[in-house]
């Protein structure tokens, strides 16, 4: 089972943000406070707290959040038996974690004005789904999140291979490995996708800042 957590930062008061920052180790505070935009700071701080909550939920020490490292291609990982991935877009922050499989998660807000250039990364089958669907803008973002989830799981990020990932089915081969795709339903204005190397279900846990603080004992 993959555990997915999500938090909506809309209407989050500055006092809540300040409390969230105080719950993080100094090294992580310094990292997230480098961002100039308020929303960027909010999503990154709460992304760290969602990971901290996932550590506790899987019976690891929450202070191990300071042990996050990055692979050659920039994929964050922990040197423990816990796979995780974080994504954020607009008002939402999501974190997926599991002890049984490699995974990746992505969330994007549906944008009717998504740049046309990204279509060059879609397969003919995907373009057919977009062009023949009732809501092309929604279909385009759904496919994009599924692609990103696979590439984030595989570890190459979005820098290469998007055009090789055909997400019109829920079971695909990519980079010599097999991946299973699931859609996560959070908000009708967003698409969220989960990719995993093992076919398994997921549980979804939606937090408010107050509930997250309670779970972390604050």
175 plus 213 within the same structural domain: no
Region 157-182: mean pLDDT is: 84
Q: Which of 5-19, 22-36, 74-88 has the highest mean pLDDT?
A: 74-88
Q: Which helix or strand (DSSP H or E) is residue 104 part of?
A: strand 103-109
The mean pLDDT value for 135-157 works out to 90
pLDDT for residue 160: 62
Closest CA to 141 of 155, 126, 154, 151: 126
User: Into how many domains does the chain fold?
Assistant: 2
pLDDT digits (tens, 9 = 90+) for 82-132: 999 999 999 999 999 999 999 999 999 998 887 767 778 899 999 999 889
Residue 54: predicted pLDDT: 97
Instruction: Clarify whether residues 105 and 140 are in a common domain.
Output: yes
Distance in angstroms (rounded) separating the CA atoms of residues 142 and 200: 20
pTM: 0.93
Do 105 and 195 lie in one domain? The reply is yes
Instruction: Indicate whether 93 and 116 sit together in one domain.
Output: no
- Give me the domain span that covers residue 11: 1-98+201-218
Kindly state whether residues 151 and 121 are assigned to the same domain.
yes
Residue 206 and residue 132 in one domain = no
On whether both 109 and 193 belong to a single domain, the answer is yes
On whether both 93 and 107 belong to a single domain, the answer is: no
């Amino acid at each position: 089972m993959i555990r997915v957590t999500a938090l909506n930062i809309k209407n989050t008061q500055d006092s809540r943000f300040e409390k969230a920052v105080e719950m993080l180790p100094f090294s992580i505070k310094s990292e997230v406070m480098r961002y100039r935009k308020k929303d960027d700071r909010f999503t990154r701080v709460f992304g760290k707290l969602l990971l901290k909550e996932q550590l506790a939920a899987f019976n690891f020490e929450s202070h191990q959040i300071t042990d996050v490292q990055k692979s050659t291609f920039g994929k964050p990982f922990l040197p423990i038996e816990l796979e995780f991935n974080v994504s954020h877009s607009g008002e939402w922050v999501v974190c997926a974690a599991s002890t049984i499989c490699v995974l990746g998660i992505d969330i994007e807000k549906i944008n009717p004005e998504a740049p046309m250039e990204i279509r060059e990364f879609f397969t003919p089958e995907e373009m057919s789904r977009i062009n023949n669907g009732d809501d092309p803008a929604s279909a385009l973002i759904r496919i994009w999140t599924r692609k990103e989830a696979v590439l984030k799981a595989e570890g190459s990020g979005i820098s290469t291979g998007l055009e090789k990932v055909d997400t019109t089915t829920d079971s695909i081969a990519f980079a010599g490995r097999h991946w299973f795709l699931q859609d996560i339903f959070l908000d009708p204005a967003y698409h969220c996708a989960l990719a995993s190397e093992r076919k398994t279900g997921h549980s979804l846990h939606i937090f408010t800042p107050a509930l997250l603080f309670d779970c972390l004992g604050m």
